[in-house]
Amino acid sequence: MNLTTTQHSQSTSDLRVSEFRPLPAPAGLMAELPLSEDLAATVSSGRDAIRAVLDGVDDRLLVIVGPCSIHDPEAGLDYARRLAEAAREHSQDLLVVLRAYFEKPRTTVGWKGLINDPHLDGSHDIAGGLFAARRFLIAAGELGLPVATEFLEPISPQYVADLVSWGAIGARTTESQVHRQLVSGLSMPVGFKNGTDGSLQIALDACAAASAPQSFLGIDGEGRASMVGTSGNPDTHLILRGGSSGPNYDAGHVAAASASLAAKGLNPRLIVDASHANSGKDHHRQAKVALELAAQIESGTDSAHRIAGVMLESFLVGGAQAHDSTNPGPLTYGQSITDACMDWDTSAGILEVLASAARRRRPARESSN
């Protein structure tokens, strides 16, 4: 019998639990893979720069770009090295943040990301997944890139959040009290997606809830179940990702969403996701949406100045490939196993266009003032 597994047979609880596999405490993993002084400076300066863009103090365009999910850390770092070069090249106009998503919310079932199943085979070596995610975040940070991730499990942030400069709560969890509470205690700016049906209201409510102090159940650094008290996150914002009612990236939707935020006393500047329901998850369409967003930004109108950032799903190879954890087969290097991504060359071209749009937005604002 596996000594780390507790089996319950004579009980009224845990009747459908097949296993408990204890995990190392966050402090143990952090001691093994520590945050160096240099990395802490990269993470903190990334957070400050993102805040400045969200608040309109820095007039660059935030671009959160990278694979839909990291399933192969080597390919992910290969991508990150290319992105780090592009980020330097466009640093006057763009604040480029690496999308490094390790937790995937599924519509029904499917591979739930590197933390949940790092070997992609249904073995659910979550301890190994947390190690792999942390090691990836350290390597990406060492390239000088600020990193973005989605927070899905309420416990996992304790293992990795010190290495993250921007966080997202996905469309399927924005309405969840558990996720709003979690955000209230996170140390970085966090965006809430609109709902999968296109509803903005749940994201506006989420921003308000997460900016308030909260008390809830969680774990501390030693892994002890704890009452967690938070002070509230002042850096929440909205992400428009489209919905079943249609896309919401055009100037009309951006202006209306921004006005709703302002009416609630929330940050009127927002992020637009070119992927998901804004592109129908079609990577060719995503490239077109990104170009339409660049045209909107470049126009220098009021709605253009409400767009603080853009999200893109991009990897080395375009599209996506099927993966079945119950029957894993060989995979194409550098291609997504979740949503379809734009290939590297297309993505590099889009970064050029977005940089030019951000540059042209500046004089438009100066002359309209």
Ligand X SMILES: C=C(OP(=O)(O)O)C(=O)O
Judged by the rule CB under 6 A, the positions of this chain that interact with ligand E4P are: 68, 104-107, 110, 276, 338-339
Closest separation in Å from C-beta 240 to ligand X: 10
Best CA proximity match to 195, nearest among 222, 217, 165, 175: 175
- Where does this chain touch ligand X (CB under 6 A) — which range of 11-19, 75-83, 85-93, 170-178? 170-178
Alpha carbons within 13 angstroms on the beta-carbon side of residue 340 total 14
Binding of ligand X by 171 (CB under 6 A): yes
Residue 171 binds which entry of ligand X, ligand E4P, none, with Cβ cut-offs from 5 to 8 Å by kind? ligand X
Binding of ligand X by 241 (CB under 6 A): yes
Closest separation in Å from C-beta 173 to ligand X: 8
Residue 288 binds which entry of ligand X, ligand E4P, none, with Cβ cut-offs from 5 to 8 Å by kind? none
Residue nearest ligand E4P by beta-carbon distance: 107
Binding of ligand X by 151 (CB under 6 A): no
Residues 6 or more apart whose Cβ sits within 8 Å of residue 178: 154, 216
Residue 113 binds which entry of ligand X, ligand E4P, none, with Cβ cut-offs from 5 to 8 Å by kind? none
Closest separation in Å from C-beta 68 to ligand X: 6
Q: Contacts with ligand X in 82-111 (CB under 6 A)?
A: 101, 105
Residues 6 or more apart whose Cβ sits within 8 Å of residue 167: 148, 149, 150, 151, 161, 183, 186, 188, 189, 190, 191
Binding of ligand X by 68 (CB under 6 A): yes
Residue 193 binds which entry of ligand E4P, ligand X, none, with Cβ cut-offs from 5 to 8 Å by kind? ligand X
Nearer to ligand X, 228 or 341 (CB): 341
Q: Contacts with ligand X in 191-220 (CB under 6 A)?
A: 193
Residue 107 binds which entry of ligand X, ligand E4P, none, with Cβ cut-offs from 5 to 8 Å by kind? ligand E4P
Closest separation in Å from C-beta 79 to ligand E4P: 16
CA distance 166 to 143: 17
Residue 210 binds which entry of ligand E4P, ligand X, none, with Cβ cut-offs from 5 to 8 Å by kind? none
3-state helix, strand, coil in the chain (%, to 5): 40, 15, 45
Best CA proximity match to 290, nearest among 364, 216, 351: 351
CA distance 265 to 304: 20
Q: Considering only residues 129, 167, 170, 268, which one is a binding residue for ligand X as defined by CB under 6 A?
A: 170
Given the structure tokens 């402090």, which residue do they identify?
27
Closest separation in Å from C-beta 107 to ligand E4P: 3
Q: Which two tokens stand for residue 365?
A: 């604002």
Q: What is the largest CA-CA distance in the chain?
A: 75
Best CA proximity match to 23, nearest among 149, 129, 151: 129
CA distance 38 to 86: 21
Best CA proximity match to 238, nearest among 228, 223, 248, 229: 248
Nearer to ligand E4P, 112 or 306 (CB): 112
Residues that bind ligand X (CB under 6 A): 68, 101, 105, 150, 170-172, 193, 241, 276
